[in-house]
């Protein structure tokens, strides 16, 4: 069985998105893509980390990562990524309201889970088989899985900017002890990898 990973780009002060996410501003106010230039404009020098973001056998994401709507579903909305999202695997979207599965080009399916993070992870594990499951974000979803002790490997992509307000990783975190695995620096981002400590015995 694979492990459960989470990878997310954050600012120096820990923010993964600004406030007031809309269709026109998918990362919220004050971000304008600055957290992701390493991924889109400098993909060659960060190729391994970019590839790792979409290498899992199944994914879990929050509703806010799937789309900007906060009330009833807009059934015409099928995600930010166009007709062929980069996942090419089942994606389980945490939601409060049910919605039929959305099938996309390239093998991506968005399945909507209304009974909590444990159920979404169980379904993702079953779909992934021996491959890893990735908690794809956003920050609030990763925070929930960290607090529950369900993430085996945390991959942080730290961009040298500050944001000041928005959606933050570790806003009120339980006490976590993580083991450093690796660090790699490029001119636009520092990649940090941590794992949960191995329990003796």
Displacement of CA 201 from its chain's centroid (Å): 32
Reported as a single tens digit per residue, the pLDDT across 145-171 is 999 999 999 999 999 999 999 999 997
Run of H or E including 59: strand 58-62
For residue 44, give Cα distances in angstroms to 37, 51, 85, 166, 186. 12, 11, 20, 29, 11
Mean pLDDT, residues 102-117 taken together: 98
* Contact status, residue 6 vs residue 150, Cβ threshold 8 Å: no
Residue 182 makes CB contacts below 8 A (sequence gap 6+) with 191, 192, 193
User: What pLDDT was estimated at residue 199?
Assistant: 64
Adjacent-strand bridge partners of 179: 195
User: Which domains can be identified in the chain, with CATH numbers?
Assistant: 4-71+83-191 (3.40.430.10)
User: What pLDDT was estimated at residue 28?
Assistant: 86
Reported as a single tens digit per residue, the pLDDT across 8-42 is 999 999 999 988 888 888 888 888 789 999 999 99
Q: Is the pLDDT of residue 89 over 70?
A: yes
For residue 35, the 8-state DSSP code is G
User: What pLDDT was estimated at residue 201?
Assistant: 44
User: What pLDDT was estimated at residue 176?
Assistant: 87
Closest to 113 (Cα-Cα) out of 57, 53, 60: 60
């Amino acid at each position: 069985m694979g492990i459960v990973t989470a990878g997310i780009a954050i600012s120096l002060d820990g923010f993964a998105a600004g406030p007031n996410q809309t269709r026109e501003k998918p990362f919220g106010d004050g971000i304008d893509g600055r957290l992701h230039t390493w991924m889109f404009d400098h993909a060659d020098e960060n190729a391994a980390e970019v590839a790792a973001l979409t290498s899992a056998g199944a994914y879990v994401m929050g509703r806010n990562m799937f789309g900007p709507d906060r009330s009833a579903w807009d059934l015409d909305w099928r995600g930010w990524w166009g007709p062929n999202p980069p996942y090419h695997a089942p994606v389980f979207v945490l939601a409060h309201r049910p919605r039929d599965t959305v099938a996309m080009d390239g093998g991506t399916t968005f399945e909507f889970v209304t009974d909590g993070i444990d159920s979404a992870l169980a379904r993702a594990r079953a779909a992934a088989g021996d491959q890893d499951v990735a908690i794809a974000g956003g920050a609030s979803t990763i925070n929930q899985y960290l607090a529950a002790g369900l993430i085996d490997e945390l991959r942080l992509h730290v961009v040298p900017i500050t944001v000041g307000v928005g959606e933050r990783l570790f806003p009120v975190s339980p006490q976590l002890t993580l083991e450093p695995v690796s660090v790699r620096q490029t001119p636009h981002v520092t990649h940090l990898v941590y794992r949960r400590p191995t329990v003796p015995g």
